[in-house]
A and B are shown apart, each in its own frame.
Chain A
Amino acid sequence: MKGLSPYPCPRRCRISSPRVLGIGASVLPGEYRVYARFHAFIDILTEAGIVGITDQADQAGPSTIILSPDLPSDLVSTVQSVSITETALSLDSLVLPIEGAQRYRETLQLPELSMPIDLQPALMLFQKILLSEAPEKSMAVVLDHSRISAFSGNFDRIMLQHFLDGAEACWREEYGQAVASLLGSGYGLTPSGDDFLCGVLFGMHFANATNRKVCPIHQLSTHLRAALPTCSVFSRTFLDHAIAGRWPLALRDAAEAILSVDTTTPDGQTRLETLFRRVLAHGSTSGSDLASGFILTAGRYSRFSPSFVSWHKERNNGA
Chain B
Amino acid sequence: MVLKGFVKKGEYFDSVSLMIVSKEVNALPGIADSAIVMGTAQNKEIVRGANLYIPELFDQADDTDLLLALKADSDKVVEETLVKIDDLFKALRNKKDEGGSNFSPKSLEGAVEALPGANISLISVAGRYAGREAMRALKQGLHVMMFSDNVSIEDEIKLKRFAHDKGLLVMGPDCGTAVINGVPLAFANVLSKGDCGIVAASGTGLQEVMTIISNEGAGISQAIGTGGRDVKEAIGGIMFIDAMRALAADPATKVIVLVSKPPHESVLRKIADEIKTIKKPVVGIFIGGDPKILEAAGAIAGSTLEETAVIAAALSKGASVDDCKKKIADRKAGIIEQAKALTPKCRGKYLRGLFSGGTLCDETQLICKDMIGYINSNAPLNPEYRLKDSWKSVGHTIIDLGEDEFTVGRPHPMIDFSLRNKKITDEAADKDVAILLLDLVLGYGSHMDPLSEFVPAFTEAKKIAPELLIICSITGTDGDPQNRSRIKAGLERAGAIMMPSNAAASELAGNIIRILEGK
Residues of A within 8 A of B (CB): 1-7, 10-15, 36, 38-40, 55-58, 68-70, 73, 76, 135-138, 150, 152-156, 158-159, 162, 182-193, 230-233, 266, 270, 274, 277-278, 281, 283-286
Interface hit among B41-49, B305-313, B378-386:
B41-49
Known: A182-B42, A191-B42, A233-B64. 8 other contacts (CB 8 A): A1-B252, A4-B180, A153-B26, A154-B51, A184-B40, A186-B15, A189-B38, A283-B14
A179 closest partner in B (C-beta): B42
Whether B132 and A135, one on each chain, are in contact in the complex, defined by CB atoms closer than 8 angstroms, is no
Q: Which of B26, B101, B103, B222 contacts A4 (CB 8 A)?
A: B222
How many cross-chain pairs have Cβ atoms below 8 Å apart between A and B? 189
Segment of B113-121, B257-265, B484-492 engaged in the interface with chain A: B113-121
Contacts of B40 in A (CB 8 A): 184-186, 191, 230-232
- Nearest first, the 5 closest Cβ-Cβ pairs linking A and B are A188-B15, A184-B42, A232-B63, A184-B40, A155-B50
The docked-state distance in angstroms from the alpha carbon of A234 to that of B336 is: 79
A159 to B48, CA, bound (A): 11
**How distant is the Cα of A285 from the Cα of B16 in the complex, in angstroms?**
7
Q: With A56-B106, A155-B35, A155-B50 known to touch, is A162 a contact of B42 (CB < 8 Å)?
A: yes
- Tell me if A162 and B106 are in contact (CB < 8 A): no
9 contacts between A and B (CB under 8 A): A1-B252, A3-B167, A6-B181, A58-B107, A73-B101, A76-B100, A135-B19, A186-B43, A270-B132
Residues of A within 8 A of B221 (CB): 1
Q: How far is the CA of A5 from the CA of B181 in the complex (A)?
A: 7
User: Which chain A positions have C-beta within 8 A of B46?
Assistant: 155, 158-159, 162, 185
Question: For the complex, what is the distance from the CA of A277 to the CA of B181, rounded to whole Å?
Answer: 34
Contact residues in B for A281 (Cβ distance below 8 Å) = 106
Interface membership of B250, Cβ < 8 A:
yes
A266–B136 Cα distance when bound, in Å, is 12
B182 at the binding interface (Cβ < 8 Å):
yes
B24-69 contacts to A, CB under 8 A, are 26, 32-38, 40-43, 46-47, 49-52, 63-64, 69
Which residues from 188 to 244 on chain B have a C-beta closer than 8 Å to any C-beta of chain A? 197, 221-222
Evaluate contact between A3 and B246: CB separation under 8 angstroms.
yes
**A15-B103, A185-B43 known; A7-B35 Cβ under 8 A:** no
Q: Is B143 an interface residue (CB 8 A)?
A: yes
B249/A2 in contact, CB under 8 A: yes
Residues of the B chain whose Cβ atoms lie less than 8 Å from the Cβ of A5: 117, 119, 181
Which of A1, A38, A270 meets B12, CB within 8 Å? A38
CB-based contact B38/A57 at 8 Å? no
Which of A11, A36, A39, A183 interacts with B99 by CB under 8 Å? A39
**Which residue in A152, A278, A284 is a CB contact (below 8 Å) of B17?**
A284
The CA of A2 and the CA of B252, in the complex, are separated in Å by 10
Cross-interface CB contact of B22 among A10, A14, A187, A190, cutoff 8 Å:
A187
* Cα of A193 to Cα of B180 in the assembled complex, Å: 49
- The distance in angstroms between the C-alpha atoms of A236 and B99, with both chains bound, is 29
Tell me the nearest residue of chain B to A186, going by C-beta.
Answer: B15
Note all chain A residues with C-beta closer than 8 A to B107: 58, 274, 277-278
Please tell me which one of the listed residues A3, A14, A184, A284 contacts residue B41 in the complex, with CB atoms under 8 A apart: A184
Return the CB mask of B463-493 against A: 1 if under 8 Å, else 0: 0000000000000000000000000000000
Contact between A7 and B119 (Cβ–Cβ < 8 Å)? yes
Q: Is the CB of B182 within 8 A of A6?
A: yes
B97 within 8 A of A: yes
| Docked-complex contact A38 and B119, CB < 8 angstroms | no
> Which single residue of chain A is at the shortest CB-CB distance from B96?
A39
Q: Does B110 contact A (CB under 8 A)?
A: yes
**Which one of B38, B47, B106, B246 contacts A188 once the chains associate, using CB atoms below 8 Å?**
B38
Q: In the complex, what's the smallest C-beta–C-beta distance from A228 to chain B, in angstroms?
A: 12
Shortest C-beta distance, B179 to chain A (Å), equals 11
Is the pair A1, B222 in contact by a Cβ cutoff of 8 Å?
yes
Contact check, B181 vs A7: say whether CB atoms are below 8 A apart: yes
The answer to whether B14 and A189 have CB atoms under 8 Å apart is yes
Q: Please tell me if the beta carbons of B41 and A188 are within 8 angstroms of each other in the complex.
A: no
Are B34 and A3 within 8 A (Cβ)?
no
Q: Which residue of A lies closest to B21 (CB)?
A: A187
Query: Using Cβ atoms and an 8 Å threshold, which residues of chain A touch B252?
Result: 1
How distant is the Cα of A158 from the Cα of B119 in the complex, in angstroms?
Answer: 52
Q: How far is the CB of B357 from chain A (nearest CB, A)?
A: 25
B199 to chain A, nearest CB (A): 12
With a CB–CB cut-off of 8 A, which chain B residues contact A189? 12-15, 38
B458 to chain A, nearest CB (A): 35
**Alpha-carbon distance between A121 and B47 when the two chains are bound, in angstroms:** 40
A69: chain B residues at CB < 8 Å are 103, 113-116
In the complex, what's the smallest C-beta–C-beta distance from A34 to chain B, in angstroms? Answer: 12
A18 shortest CB reach to chain B, Å:
11
Q: Distance (Å) between the CB of B228 and the closest chain A CB?
A: 22
Contacts of B43 in A (CB 8 A): 184-186, 191
Select from chain B the residue with minimum beta-carbon distance to A191: B40
Name which residue of chain A comes closest to B10, CB basis.
Answer: A36
Closest to B115 in A: A13
B253 lies within 8 A of chain A by Cβ: yes
Report B79-116 residues with CB < 8 Å from chain A CB. 96-97, 99-103, 106-107, 110, 113-116
Closest Cβ of chain A: how far from B223's Cβ, in Å? 11
B119 — which chain A residues lie within 8 A by C-beta?
Answer: 3-5, 7
Q: In the complex the two chains form, is B49's CB within 8 Å of A158's CB?
A: yes
CA distance A150 to B26 in the complex (A): 11
Among A10, A15, A57, chain B packs the most CB atoms within 10 A around the CB of A10
A15 to B169, CA, bound (A): 27
| B513 lies within 8 A of chain A by Cβ | no
CA distance A39 to B33 in the complex (A): 30
Measured CB to CB, the closest approach of chain B to A249, in angstroms, equals 13
CB–CB A10/B222 < 8 A: no
B12 and A36 contacting across the interface, CB-CB below 8 Å:
yes
**B102 to chain A: which residues have CB within 8 Å?**
12-14
- Judged by a CB distance under 8 angstroms, whether B183 is at the interface is yes
Q: Which residue of B lies closest to A159 (CB)?
A: B46
Query: Which residue of B16, B42, B110, B115 contacts A284 across the interface (Cβ within 8 Å)?
Result: B16
Complex interface: chain B residues within 8 A of A191 (CB): 38, 40, 42-43
Taking the nearest CB of chain A, how far is it from the CB of B405, in angstroms? 30
Cβ-neighbour of B50 out of A154, A277, A285 (below 8 A)? A154
Question: What chain B residues lie within 8 Å of A159 (beta carbons)?
Answer: 46
A38 vs B93: C-alpha distance in the bound complex, in angstroms? 10
A50 → chain B closest CB, angstroms: 12
